[in-house]
């Protein structure tokens, strides 16, 4: 049986005076890809930001490897093995590709070197444009860099927010391929609007609606449930 790597229990998050997350509860089994689905504004991105400590929960618990991490600062959460790829990719525009990756490398040991070699093999464009400023990369290349940066450390869990957003279909394929590769080595929580991509990568899913987790199950089952897809995802 799969062990649980991350668990959210009745997480509620406020941003200023706004109550964004009302009740988010789900478990992330180790070694799987858990997909968070939902319409725009449902609270998927805030959920990832709450896990990462960027918008800390005001109620409920986030447990990672059995430890409650609600009160931890984002850098502590990152140092404990959670990598984050934000929706806007968070590329440092003035830094070169190499520098973007160097900032991310928490240490330079055998594992990170191995990870770096692996991502450069996976994304040859990053090697090609190693000295090019991050701000001058195409949308797809920026996404590759953001994923590489999160993966280069020995992270046990990756939180990836809408990796296909704004990318051409051919680039989406490439990004999807890379996440499928990473799936073999790490656990992933994926927020994705592109249902085709989510269904190909995901093992299990949780639907978030109006700041609450309203439904969950295996991805293979969701594809059969047209009513559920229409009700919560607007997919006919």
Partner 1 sequence: MDLFFSLTVNGLATGMLIFLLAAGLTLIFGLMDVLNFAHGGLFVWGAFSGVWVYDLTGSFWLGIVGAIITGLILGAIIEYLIIRPVYGNHVQQILITLGLMLVLSELIKVVFGPDQKAATAPEYLQGSFMVGDVILIKYRLFIILVGFIVFGVTSLILKRTRIGLIVRAGVMNKEMVQTLGVNIRLVFMLVFMVGAAMAALGGMLMAPYSGVIYAEMGLEFGILAFIVVVIGGMGSFSGSLLAAILVGLAQAYMAYYVPALSLAVNMLLMTVVLIFRPQGLFRVGVK
Give the residues lining the site for partner 1 (CB under 8 A).
Answer: 52, 54, 73-75, 77-79, 84, 86, 88, 90-95, 99-100, 102-104, 106, 133, 135, 149, 153
CB of 84 to partner 1, least distance (A): 4
Rounded to an integer, what distance in angstroms lies between the CA atom of residue 118 and that of residue 24?
35
With respect to partner 1, which residue has the nearer C-beta, 88 or 114? 88
Q: What is the DSSP pairing of strand 67-68 with strand 82-85?
A: unpaired
Q: For the CB of residue 96, give the shortest distance to partner 1 in the complex, in Å.
A: 10
H runs (alpha helix) in 105-206: 110-122, 124-128, 139-151, 169-183, 195-201
- Nearest approach in angstroms of CB 236 to partner 1 is 36
Q: Which lies closer to partner 1 via its Cβ, residue 79 or residue 223?
A: 79
Strand partners, 212: 23, 209
**140/219 with CB nearer partner 1:** 140
Minimum distance from residue 144 beta carbon to partner 1 (Å): 16
> Cα 69 from chain centroid?
17
The least distance separating partner 1 from the CB of residue 200, rounded to whole angstroms, comes to 26
Q: For residue 26, give the 3-state DSSP assignment.
A: strand
Cβ nearer to partner 1, comparing 153 with 204: 153
Distances, alpha carbon 184 to alpha carbons 19, 85, 99, 162, 188, in Å: 36, 18, 27, 20, 10
Instruction: Using the minimum distance from each CB to partner 1, give the nearer residue, 42 or 78.
Output: 78
CB atoms within 10 A of CB 178: 19
Q: What's 136's DSSP letter?
A: G
Taking the complex as a whole, how short is the minimal distance between the CB of residue 90 and partner 1, in angstroms? 4
Q: Which is nearer to partner 1, 94 or 225 (CB)?
A: 94
CA dihedral 60, 63, 68, 70 (to 10 degrees): -50
């Amino acid at each position: 049986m799969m062990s649980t790597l991350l668990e959210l229990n009745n997480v509620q998050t406020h941003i200023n005076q706004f109550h964004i997350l009302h009740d988010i509860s789900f478990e992330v089994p180790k070694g799987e890809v858990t997909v968070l689905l939902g319409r725009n504004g449902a609270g998927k991105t805030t959920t990832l930001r709450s896990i990462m400590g960027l918008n800390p929960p005001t109620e409920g618990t986030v447990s990672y490897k059995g430890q409650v991490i609600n009160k931890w600062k984002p850098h502590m959460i990152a140092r404990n093995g959670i990598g984050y790829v934000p929706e806007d990719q968070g590329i440092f525009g003035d830094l070169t590709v190499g520098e973007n990756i160097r900032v991310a490398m928490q240490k330079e040991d055998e594992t990170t070197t191995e990870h770096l070699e692996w991502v450069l093999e996976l994304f040859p464009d990053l090697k090609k444009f190693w000295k090019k400023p991050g701000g001058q990369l195409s949308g797809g290349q920026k996404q590759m860099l953001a994923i590489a940066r999160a993966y280069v450390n020995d992270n046990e869990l990756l939180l990836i927010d809408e990796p296909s957003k704004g990318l051409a279909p051919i680039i989406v394929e490439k990004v999807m391929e890379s996440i499928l590769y990473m799936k073999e080595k790490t656990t992933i929580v994926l927020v994705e609007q592109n249902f085709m991509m989510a269904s190909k990568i995901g093992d299990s899913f949780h639907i978030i609606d109006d700041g609450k987790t309203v439904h969950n199950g295996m991805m293979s089952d969701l594809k059969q449930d047209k009513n559920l897809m229409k009700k919560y995802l607007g997919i006919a």
